[in-house]
């Protein structure tokens, strides 16, 4: 008799232990009695009577879903492989459990469908340059579908976009050609500005002989500052002007090698 009571007590304790459910802080639990929803509880210790009650615990933390589309043709008929990540969480536990059979699998399928739809309606140039617009468009499509499932879509981020190697090489050459074209344009504009400035300087030199000679002296000074001996060919009128200013600076030989430092002078 004592053995039978002990067995009954053990069975009751085991039944109570099986019936106890612990819901964590980031979870919510739905309790069904004979298939009918009877209550929705938050975190803590709960009792779900085994045998005629069933508990569904749903994680409400932010989750990520990676999805991709391989070989999907863009609007301009280019095969594109696009990979993205969706950030989402369950906002309505009741809808997520009752309105859709498998909300995680459904979210994954919805992501792939939205991604392929966006790729097929976009040109390759838009896919390559308009990543932010692409993220927003995919997220908008998924939000519309997932709202009735109790899913809150946070955002979508495109991780990678792959195109055929031959096309990638072609785009690289195109970018290099455009960069070279821009560089040539800037160089041409600089030449135009320099020519205009030279023209202004020519007008000044034409009206003032003194200004022209001073410019010649400045060029001579820059040449003398060189780190090596410099062979200078001096015009006759420039040498005459230098003799009038400082005779010691002009040698008798019209082909003059001008030393640049004290050691060169001494030698």
pLDDT tens readout for residues 15-39: 888 888 888 999 999 999 988 889 9
Q: Say if 138 falls within a structural domain.
A: yes
Arithmetic mean of pLDDT over the chain:
78
Q: Are residues 42 and 113 in the same domain?
A: no
Domain end point (choices 44, 59, 74): 59
> For the chain, what is the domain count?
3
Q: Are residues 47 and 75 in the same domain?
A: no
63-73: strand order across its sheet: 63-73, 79-90, 151-162
Q: Say if 6 falls within a structural domain.
A: yes
Give Cβ neighbours of residue 248 (< 8 Å, ≥ 6 apart): none
Give the separation between CA 52 and CA 41, rounded to whole angstroms: 18
Distances (CA, A) of 221 to 113, 126, 230, 232: 75, 57, 11, 11
Maximal C-alpha separation, the chain: 140
pLDDT(257) > 70: no
Tens digits of residue pLDDT in 144-193: 888 888 899 988 888 888 877 766 666 667 777 777 888 888 888 888 88
Q: Are residues 86 and 159 in the same domain?
A: yes
Q: Are residues 27 and 75 in the same domain?
A: no
Give the separation between CA 234 and CA 230, rounded to whole angstroms: 12
Q: Say if 84 falls within a structural domain.
A: yes
Q: Are residues 70 and 140 in the same domain?
A: yes
Q: Say if 170 falls within a structural domain.
A: no
Q: Are residues 154 and 112 in the same domain?
A: yes
Q: Are residues 237 and 260 in the same domain?
A: yes
Q: Return phi, psi of residue 223, to 5°.
A: -65, -40
Q: Say if 225 falls within a structural domain.
A: yes
Which domain does 26 fall in, by range?
2-59
* Report field, pTM of the whole predicted structure over 0.85: no
């Amino acid at each position: 008799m004592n053995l039978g009571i002990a067995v009954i007590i053990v069975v009751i304790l085991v039944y109570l232990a099986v019936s106890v459910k612990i819901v964590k802080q980031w979870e919510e639990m739905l309790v069904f009695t004979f298939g009918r929803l009877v209550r929705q509880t938050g975190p803590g210790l709960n009792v779900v009577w085994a045998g005629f009650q069933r508990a569904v615990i749903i994680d409400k933390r932010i989750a990520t879903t990676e999805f991709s589309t391989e070989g999907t043709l863009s609007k301009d008929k280019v095969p594109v492989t696009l990979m993205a990540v969706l950030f989402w969480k369950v906002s309505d536990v009741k809808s997520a459990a009752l309105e859709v059979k498998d909300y995680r699998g459904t979210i994954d399928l919805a992501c792939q469908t939205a991604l392929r739809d966006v790729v097929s309606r976009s040109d390759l140039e838009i896919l390559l340059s308009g990543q932010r617009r692409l993220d927003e468009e995919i997220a908008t499509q998924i939000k519309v579908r997932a709202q009735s499932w109790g899913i809150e879509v946070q955002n979508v981020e495109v991780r990678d976009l792959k195109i055929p190697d031959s096309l990638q090489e072609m785009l690289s050459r195109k970018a290099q050609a455009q960069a070279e074209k821009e560089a040539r344009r800037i160089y041409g504009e600089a030449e135009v500005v320099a020519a205009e400035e030279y023209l202004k300087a020519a007008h000044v030199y034409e009206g003032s002989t003194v200004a022209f000679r001073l410019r010649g002296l400045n060029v001579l000074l820059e040449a003398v500052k060189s780190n090596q001996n410099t062979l200078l060919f001096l015009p006759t009128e420039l040498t005459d002007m230098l003799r009038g200013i400082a005779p010691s600076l002009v040698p008798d030989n019209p082909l003059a090698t001008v030393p640049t430092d004290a050691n060169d002078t001494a030698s």
